Amino acid sequence: MKEFAALIKILSNSTKTNEKLDALSRYLAAADAPDRLWVLALFTGRRPKRTVNTTQLSTWCLQMTGLPAWLYEECYHTVGDLGETIALLLPPGKSLSAHPLHYWIEQLIQLEKADEATKQTFILRAWEELDTSERFVFNKLITGGFRIGVSQQTMVNALASTYNIPAATVSHMISGNWDPQQTTIEALLSENITEADASKPFPFYLAYALEGDPAELGVPEQWQAEWKWDGIRGQIIKRNGQLFVWSRGEELITEKFPEYQPLLDLLPEGTVLDGEILTFADGAPLPFQTLQTRIGRKNVTRKQLQEAPVAFLSYDLLEWEGQDIRTSALQERRLLLEKVVEQINHPTLRLSPTITFHDWDELARFRLQAREKGSEGLMLKKLDSTYQVGRKRGDWWKWKIDPLTIDAVMIYAQKGHGRRSNLYTDYTFAVRDGDQLVSFTKAYSGLTDKEISEVDSWVKKNSLEKFGPVRTVKPELVFEIGFEGIAASNRHKSGVALRFPRILRWRKDKPLTEINTLEDLQQLLRTHK
């Protein structure tokens, strides 16, 4: 556990990918096989089921420290992380334990059916035996989410160098549906990938944002353009007489979208499609908010199916007749894909259309129509590109449209969490409505650390009232808020809900009198619905 705690410390402090990779590789080289497997599982979101809840942890910490609950809350709010708060509050530990990571995880798993007293005894013993940094990682094993900025790619690269397997192969091997309690690291990193697990998805190929001029990409004849959809990237797999639907977050979401079930009979055996899960009606995508009503629900109601019907806009074919065809050229895969979609001829399986264009200027004009099409810009893919693994530069680009903007005034501020705990970083903004201010959105990111500390000290001097963690502030600081879309909403006072709101700039040059109005927002709603 000491080694794992040390690893977490390096990973969370370092901002350099190479340092993280080195630390991870060194850890893997020294760790035993079960610890290797568990680190892989933890860092790819496959933590064991929670057997102790946070209320229990909090209660036992309060008993051990004798602190009042309100002070515990205050500490939690400042630290922004429950596991870390408890580790800092407990009296100094004895650092007695030499048990490895997998010992503690297995012990925690065994608590599943234990009674409360057994759980408490175990947790208190663990806290006593571990030192502060070990307690922190132990608590995080229970509460979840290390948030240490280790990308899937870094994990893949570390494994690739430890086991001497190409990174793209590792990436595929560790994707999909495996359970650290049911497998071993050796089995997982063995040769025959899909034989072992029919549901296993391919790693997604992701595009970088195009920042320069598309003309720098070369001649238009070598490129394919598509609309960039604002849904959930997904993979539909038909193997072994079963249908699997995966999201880009590698979540198996087959059950959530019963609309896709007819494809089980229609798709030929050994087919994998890449595309966008979208709510779709009358030949056009519905706003993303409608798709949100479908996410996070286990059982879909008939009403939801009617109001937010889902389609799959396919744009790539990765496996055909049981063959992995990712290394063939996009134009070949596309031809096959078009044939498949046409043959199947089912309304939920659609083709994401390509855009015919002759020069980059013409394409730039198409891009301006993106919002009308219900898309968030364009995708540019090289016609001879293979389907690569992870986010790669060169062959695929996303060329998004510029955000909508509104100048607004900050009216509430709240302290952030994690990296930004103890600083006022979460703001609520308002527009003018006559002589009133109407709040319409929260926005977080977008300011530099320097600007954040400037706003933070301004908030501390200009707060008017306190409501729990929220301060109302003098309406004075004006910001330009950018967002990707706008929809009507009866949950907000302003009557609108924004998509991806964020702070674009601090408008120190603008006084309160020059901010936008509620009328301006309603105008945007009418033009961009």
- The Cα 290–Cα 303 span in angstroms is 12
Cβ atoms of 313 and 275 within 8 Å: the answer is: yes
Where b means 16+ CB within 10 Å and e means fewer, 435-451 reads: eebbbbbebeebbeeee
| Rg of the chain taking only CA atoms, in angstroms | 26
Helix, strand, coil content of the chain in percent (nearest 5):
40, 25, 35
User: What contacts 22, CB < 8 A, 6 or more positions away?
Assistant: none
Residue whose token pair is 């429950």: 82
At its nearest, how many Å lie between another protein and the CB of residue 306?
A: 45
At its nearest, how many Å lie between another protein and the CB of residue 4?
A: 15
| Binding residues vs another protein (CB under 8 A) | 12-15, 65, 67-68, 70-71, 74-75, 78-81, 84-85, 88-89, 417-423, 449, 453
Element (H, E) at 242: strand 242-247
Q: Pick the closer one to another protein by CB: 227 or 506.
A: 506
Q: Pick the closer one to another protein by CB: 190 or 453.
A: 453
Q: Pick the closer one to another protein by CB: 13 or 323.
A: 13
Q: Pick the closer one to another protein by CB: 79 or 174.
A: 79
At its nearest, how many Å lie between another protein and the CB of residue 427?
A: 17
| Geometric angle at alpha carbon 111, from 110 and 113, rounded to 5° | 100
Q: Pick the closer one to another protein by CB: 78 or 369.
A: 78
At its nearest, how many Å lie between another protein and the CB of residue 149?
A: 9
For residue 488 the two structure tokens come to 């009507």
For residue 418 the two structure tokens come to 């994690």
Partners of 485 in beta bridges: 499
Nearest to 359 by CA among 228, 218, 227: 218
What are the distances in angstroms from CA 242 to CA 77, 193, 197, 257?
Answer: 46, 17, 12, 15
For residue 135 the two structure tokens come to 């307690």
Q: Pick the closer one to another protein by CB: 65 or 517.
A: 65
Q: Pick the closer one to another protein by CB: 69 or 368.
A: 69
Q: Pick the closer one to another protein by CB: 60 or 244.
A: 60
At its nearest, how many Å lie between another protein and the CB of residue 79?
A: 5
At its nearest, how many Å lie between another protein and the CB of residue 16?
A: 9
At its nearest, how many Å lie between another protein and the CB of residue 130?
A: 16
At its nearest, how many Å lie between another protein and the CB of residue 219?
A: 41
SS3 92: coil
Nearest to 177 by CA among 253, 265, 278: 253
User: What contacts 407, CB < 8 A, 6 or more positions away?
Assistant: 478, 479, 480, 481, 507, 510, 514, 515, 516
- The H-assigned helical ranges of 164-204 are 167-173, 185-188, 193-196
Q: Pick the closer one to another protein by CB: 74 or 433.
A: 74
- The Cα 442–Cα 359 span in angstroms is 40
Q: Which amino acid is at 298?
A: K
Q: Pick the closer one to another protein by CB: 142 or 515.
A: 142
Q: Pick the closer one to another protein by CB: 78 or 301.
A: 78
At its nearest, how many Å lie between another protein and the CB of residue 152?
A: 20
At its nearest, how many Å lie between another protein and the CB of residue 89?
A: 6
For residue 212 the two structure tokens come to 């320069």
Q: Pick the closer one to another protein by CB: 90 or 108.
A: 90
For residue 338 the two structure tokens come to 């078009």
At its nearest, how many Å lie between another protein and the CB of residue 451?
A: 12
At its nearest, how many Å lie between another protein and the CB of residue 459?
A: 14
Cβ atoms of 167 and 392 within 8 Å: the answer is: no
